[in-house]
Amino acid sequence: MTEQDRGRQLRRRHMHERQAVIFGVLLAALALAGLGAAAVFTGSLNLPVFAREFAAEPSPTATQDPYPCPPAGALPVPYGQITVKVYNATNRVGLAGATAASLAERGFVIGAKETAAVRYDGTARIIFGTTGVAAAYTLAAQLDGAVLILDPRTDPSVDLALGAEFAELKPVEQVTLDPAAPLVAPAGCTPFDQVVAPVATEPPAAG
């Protein structure tokens, strides 16, 4: 074998070695990317905050703005005097209708059964005006985890927007309302005489 042939053979061997190294690095990078994607998909790896900022906008969650306590000495409102509009703020078909039927069986007056304009991730939102505070607390006793929201309406009607975490109303025997006992103010509520009603800028939306 001549020196020229030997040199050509060495150059060919070096080229093959470089290609093998490059392919190895590429395969390792692909494997790491695949493992990372699998970890994110299964939830074992959390993306940093700056990466999550580009995710789709989440639907509203269970945040609680200031809300009024029941008026001093206010008693639960008889169910037949409470008009409730029930909104389905999920993608579960028939949720508003089924819940409205359960409320009607308990004596509540159903004003509407509709799909909410906005999805909600929490359990439920109860929306009411200053004249419907006692009615809102009476309705809230029928389910666990509801968020109370005061809006500018002037009538005593109440809206119930059902969220993704809602399962069903509490069993009737677990509703601890005493018609003769004043409603109990929960921790964190604003005394009723200090409440400032929101100002209506557009028709209130229950979703």
**Tokens standing for residue 44:** 């074992």
**Interval 68-88: pLDDT, tens:** 999 999 999 999 999 999 999
Range 157-183 average pLDDT: 97
What is the residue extent of each domain of the chain?
Answer: 3-52, 79-193
Cα R_g (the chain), whole angstroms: 30
Nearest to 86 by CA among 77, 78, 94: 94
**Interval 12-61: pLDDT, tens:** 776 767 666 576 656 666 666 665 555 544 444 444 433 333 333 445 65
Please state, in angstroms and rounded to a whole number, the distance separating the CA atoms of residues 141 and 134.
11
Burial of 68 (0-12, 13-18, 19+ CB in 10 A): buried
Phi-psi region at 154: left, alpha or beta (left = phi > 0; alpha = psi -120 to 50)? alpha
Say how far residue 30 (Cα) sits from the centre of its chain. 36
pTM above 0.85, yes or no: no
pLDDT of residue 199: 81
**Interval 182-201: pLDDT, tens:** 999 998 899 999 988 888 76
Please state, in angstroms and rounded to a whole number, the distance separating the CA atoms of residues 103 and 109.
8
Please state, in angstroms and rounded to a whole number, the distance separating the CA atoms of residues 170 and 205.
26
